[in-house]
Amino acid sequence: MRRRRDPRPDPAPDPGRDRVKPFAYVRATSLQEAAAAYASHPGSRYIGGGTNLVDLMKHDVETPDTLIDLTRLPLHDIRELPTGGLRVEAGVSNTDLAVHPLVRTRYPALSQALLAGASGQLRNVATTGGNLLQRTRCPYFQDVSKPCNKREPGTGCAARDGVHRDHAVLGHSEHCIATHPSDMAVALAALDAEIELYDGEHGTRRVAAAGFHRLPGEHPERDTVLRPGEIVTAVLLPPPAPGAVSLYRKARDRASYAFALASVAAVLALHDGRVRHVALAFGGLAHRPWRATTAEERLTGAVPTDEAVREAVDAELAAARPLPDNAFKVALARNLARDAVATLVRSAPGAPPARPQP
């Protein structure tokens, strides 16, 4: 493990440009080294691709005293498991994960979600672990001149009375209405993935991807269930259900390089014309990927008619609490989910016969 500090004196302040607060740098070569460095350097942050953290440092949203580089850890493989699932290590780039043959064939929703996010250049650098841990793109969170309970607990939520077109309609609280930006996390929630975590004191544990991110409640500063110093080491994908098909759909303001106004990841398996397995997760609507358990319960065992799908999705979105500027997101999510399920019904093995055209 090597620690480096820039020996050059700090440049004179320049009010015309952003400056990053000076920080120490540690390069870890093992999980044990990384955990020990975190424990011995208060105010440190882990860094992988840095596509989000570095931007936040430029805006003084993140001001770590030490950066602990994880890119040299041996966490860059995608391996098929004996169960038929996949182990995706945290250092795998978004590009490598999206184009992996087994991901494209067994988990198309995941591949589609990754390719729907960012740009090709960013996907080449961004890591699987970092994608999960990216922070909200709420403009008030990124502007240190504005009150923000997520950035500085107890200061208030400027977005509630400000511009909140892109903000949450599900699961928000009086303390925060931010949404989580990850497309990948939405797909992982629908695919029943698990996140593998490591820390130097407790060792390794796993948590469900659908429960990895938190709703804001009274503590919006806590995005995930991570313990202090814990490291994301891998994503574990279970084998697909027999006959399951999946997809990801995203609505955004422009065709590329834009975060979701609403998105849905859907997984469906049929048997004798009825729904044997279904999983739906919404993105762009809440502080975390929103697993649509009410809709899933209504659809499981049902014949997936247009009416049944419509009623199930409407029941899920009945919990929405839109703000004055973002009520349109509820209708957007409703249409995305209905279209996604209808598309999967047509392509799934065991689909009911198509109705004859009049």
CATH of the domain at 21: 3.30.43.10
Q: b/e map of 132-146 (b: 16 or more CB within 10 Å)?
A: bbbbbebebbbeeeb
Query: Where is the domain boundary, 69, 87, 114?
Result: 69
pLDDT given at position 356: 53
For residue 329, the one-letter residue type is K
What is the C-alpha separation between 258 and 168, in angstroms, rounded?
16
Q: Collapsing DSSP states into helix, strand and coil, what is residue 216?
A: coil
Torsion of CA 80, 84, 87, 88, to 10 degrees: 80
Strands 44-47 and 66-69: parallel
pLDDT given at position 308: 98
Query: Where is the domain boundary, 237, 264, 293?
Result: 237
> What is the DSSP secondary-structure string of 245-307?
EEEEEEE-SSSSS---SEEEEEEEEEETTEEEEEEEEEESSSSS-EE-HHHHHHHTTS---HH
Q: Do residues 204 and 294 both lie within one domain? A: no
On whether the CB atoms of residues 214 and 78 are closer than 8 A, the answer is no
User: The tokens 């598309």 sit on which residue?
Assistant: 343
Q: What is the per-residue pLDDT across 112-127, written as a single tens digit (0 to 9) for each?
A: 999 999 999 999 999 9
| End-to-end Cα, the chain, rounded Å | 72
Query: Where is the domain boundary, 41, 69, 97?
Result: 69
Q: Do residues 228 and 307 both lie within one domain? A: no
Is there a domain that residue 269 lies in? yes
Is there a domain that residue 355 lies in? no
Is there a domain that residue 290 lies in? yes
Q: Do residues 219 and 268 both lie within one domain? A: no
What is the C-alpha separation between 214 and 212, in angstroms, rounded?
7
pLDDT given at position 59: 95
What is the C-alpha separation between 199 and 232, in angstroms, rounded?
9
pLDDT given at position 234: 99
Q: Tokens at residue 354, please?
A: 């198509």
Is there a domain that residue 353 lies in? no
Q: Please give the average pLDDT of every successive group of 10 residues along the chain, which has 358 residues.
A: 48 54 97 98 96 97 98 98 98 99 99 96 98 98 98 98 98 98 99 98 97 98 98 99 98 92 99 98 99 99 98 99 98 99 95 61
Which residue segment(s) compose the domain that 307 sits in? 245-347
CATH of the domain at 190: 3.30.465.10
Q: Do residues 226 and 252 both lie within one domain? A: no
Is there a domain that residue 199 lies in? yes
- Burial level of 37, CB count in 10 A (0-12/13-18/19+)? buried
Q: Do residues 91 and 220 both lie within one domain? A: yes
Q: Do residues 60 and 95 both lie within one domain? A: no
On whether the CB atoms of residues 143 and 55 are closer than 8 A, the answer is no
Is there a domain that residue 165 lies in? no
**The total number of structural domains that make up the chain:** 3
On whether the CB atoms of residues 263 and 251 are closer than 8 A, the answer is yes
Q: Do residues 24 and 116 both lie within one domain? A: no
Q: Do residues 232 and 84 both lie within one domain? A: yes
pLDDT given at position 261: 98
Is there a domain that residue 27 lies in? yes
